[in-house]
């Protein structure tokens, strides 16, 4: 997994966690690299990557499928990609402000739907705050 700040993603509408070990990709390089060259065994249930800002994603040079949840600036789910296979270009959504990349099956298991509200919390050494 890439390195960087961490946090978690909580689907407030469904009252369920999407990721409890969420890596935040904010730099140009971390957003571009994403999960490329990551082994599937290192991206398991509970993990995720929040690409912020982002209007769309790709799975080039990835070795496993993922779920993707596109969020607008209010963190409302505006688009969902389930089981996105490696070496694909996903949809670009102009309204998107960020994208959550999650292990495949997370969307189905959490019952996440369009219109759901997702809270992103960043972990700091002393406390946790909403992003």
In a domain, 1, yes or no: no
Please give the model's pTM, rounded to 2 decimal places. Answer: 0.89
Question: Average pLDDT in the 72-98 region?
Answer: 97
Confidence category of residue 130, pLDDT binned at 50, 70, 90: low
Length of the chain (residues): 131
Least confident of 17-26, 55-64, 67-76, 122-131: 122-131
Q: For residue 11, which phi and psi values (nearest 5 degrees)?
A: -80, 100
**Pairing between β-strand 128-130 and β-strand 118-123 as defined by DSSP bridges:** antiparallel
CATH of the domain at 83: 2.60.120.1140
Q: Which whole-number Å values give the CA distances from 111 to 13, 26, 101, 106, 107, in the listed order?
A: 10, 27, 16, 8, 6
Residue 93 lies in domain = 6-130
Cα–Cα dist 61/33, whole Å: 9
| pLDDT over 90, % of the chain | 70
Q: For the chain, what is the domain count?
A: 1
Question: Could you read off the pLDDT of 23-62 as tens digits, one per residue?
Answer: 998 887 787 777 887 888 888 999 999 999 999 999 998 9
């Amino acid at each position: 997994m890439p390195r960087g700040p961490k946090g978690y993603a909580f689907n407030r509408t469904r009252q369920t966690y999407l990721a409890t070990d969420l890596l935040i990709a904010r730099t140009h390089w971390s957003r571009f690299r994403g999960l490329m060259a990551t082994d599937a065994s290192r991206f398991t249930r509970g993990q995720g990557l929040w690409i912020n800002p982002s209007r769309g994603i790709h799975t080039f040079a990835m070795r496993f499928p993922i779920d993707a949840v596109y969020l607008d600036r209010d963190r409302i789910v505006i688009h969902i990609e389930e089981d996105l296979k490696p070496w694909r270009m996903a949809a670009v959504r102009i309204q998107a402000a960020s994208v959550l990349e999650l292990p495949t099956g997370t969307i189905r298991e959490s019952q996440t739907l369009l219109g759901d509200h997702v809270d992103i919390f960043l972990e700091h050494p002393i406390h946790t705050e909403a992003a």
